[in-house]
Amino acid sequence: MADRHTDLPLFAWKPPCVLIAFPLGKRVGVARSIATAIQIRPDNLREAYWQRQAKRLHQELKSYGYGQTAIDAELEAFRSAVLREMMGQSSRSRGGTPGDAA
C-alpha cells in the first residue's frame, strides 16, 4: 500500500511544455537588427554587445524551461543567422547581392 503522504498528485505534477513559435534561428528581423548594431559599433565594442544580446536570449530561453543543450543549439542557430545577415549587409553595401562570388 502506498504511503498516503507521498502518493499525492502534487508529487506527480510536471510543468506544461512551452512551444516557441519562432525559434531563434528563424528570427530574421531580430538577427538583422543585431547584425546592423554590431556593424555600426567600433571594433572594440562589438564583442561586448554580442555577449549582452546572447545573455539576454539565453535568459529568455531559460525562462521558457529550455535545458542547456537546447539553449546552446538555439544560440548557435541565432549566431549563424546574425552572421548571414552581416554577410548580406556587407555584400549589399558593396553593390553585390548575397551569395555573389568574391
The pLDDT of residue 3 is 57
Instruction: Please indicate, yes or no, if residue 5 is contained in any of the structural domains.
Output: no
The pLDDT of residue 83 is 96
Instruction: Please indicate, yes or no, if residue 56 is contained in any of the structural domains.
Output: yes
Mean pLDDT, to the nearest integer, of 32-39?
96
What is the model's pTM? 0.70
Please give the mean pLDDT across all residues of the chain.
Answer: 84
With bands split at pLDDT 50, 70 and 90, how would you rate the model's confidence at 92?
confident
Instruction: Please indicate, yes or no, if residue 43 is contained in any of the structural domains.
Output: yes
User: pLDDT tens digit string along 45-79?
Assistant: 999 999 999 999 999 999 988 899 999 999 999 99
Q: What is the residue range of 57's domain?
A: 27-90
* One-letter amino acid of 97: T
CA atoms within 13 Å, Cβ hemisphere of 42: 2
